Chains A and B, each alone.
Chain A
Amino acid sequence: AQSVTQLDSHVSVSEGTPVLLRCNYSSSYSPSLFWYVQHPNKGLQLLLKYTSAATLVKGINGFEAEFKKSETSFHLTKPSAHMSDAAEYFCVVYNAGNMLTFGGGTRLMVKP
């Protein structure tokens, strides 16, 4: 089975500074990877997904992620944080049978 590890449980940035949320994956073959966002008291929303078409994936709200096979990483970035980006972010890997395995989550805090 494939798995993901989110390296930081909490990340704090100032508004207008870059965001980096780190995710490593473990897979015996080329995986499908996702980033989901969960705003407070809300359900999960898909930010972006990687399915081997391109290693740099652009998502909604200015986020992007780069798939690096040599580093088994799929880090999420954004050039400039907004207050509205404060949320919990989940790195997720697709397993056979349409099942997903979630990382533990990273809570992003944005300071004014």
Chain B
Amino acid sequence: NAGVTQTPKFRVLKTGQSMTLLCAQDMNHEYMYWYRQDPGMGLRLIHYSVGEGTTAKGEVPDGYNVSRLKKQNFLLGLESAAPSQTSVYFCASSPTSAGEHTDTQYFGPGTRLTVL
């Protein structure tokens, strides 16, 4: 199993450009999440999904959109990138709400995004 994978690993954008980050998981997890990591602030939840076709806002959703068209994929979009969105982005997944390990999240390796 590859676990949680993210593409791309690095990206540099100019202000106003758009891009999509792809997260894929092969563990058949229902829940998927997008976080951003900034120095001294830990990880903050951007958006999440509790199943195929569903999405919900997290703590810092402004400037981002997401889609979960397939259970194994969770896309994060930036329609008009801003320098404040320079960050490291992590995707995570977790199983459904039944069973012993349901609250453990599994993380991808991250995408480092720079907006100039």
A65 to chain B, nearest CB (A): 15
Q: Contact at A98–B97, with CB atoms within 8 Å?
A: yes
Q: Which residues between 9 and 51 of chain B lie within 8 Å of chain A, taking CB atoms? A: 31, 33, 40-45, 48, 50
Number of A-B contacts (CB under 8 A): 49
A42-B109, A43-B107, A43-B109 given as contacts; is B41 within 8 A of A104 (CB)? yes
A4 to chain B, nearest CB (A): 9
Residues of B in contact, count (CB < 8 Å): 24
Give the complex CA separation of A42 and B31 in angstroms.
22
Q: Which residues between 74 and 112 of chain A lie within 8 Å of chain B, taking CB atoms? A: 90, 94, 97-100, 102-105
A43-B107, A44-B107, A46-B104 given as contacts; is B43 within 8 A of A102 (CB)? yes
> What mask results when residues 79 to 105 of chain B are scored 1 for a CB within 8 Å of chain A, else 0?
000000000001010100100001111
Q: Which residues of the partner chain B approach A46 to less than 8 Å between Cβ atoms?
A: 104
Give the complex CA separation of A103 and B43 in angstroms.
8
* In the complex, residue of chain A having the shortest beta-carbon distance to the beta carbon of B40: A104
The 9 A-B pairs with the shortest beta carbon distances in the complex, nearest first, are A102-B42, A44-B107, A43-B107, A43-B109, A102-B43, A94-B103, A98-B31, A104-B42, A104-B40
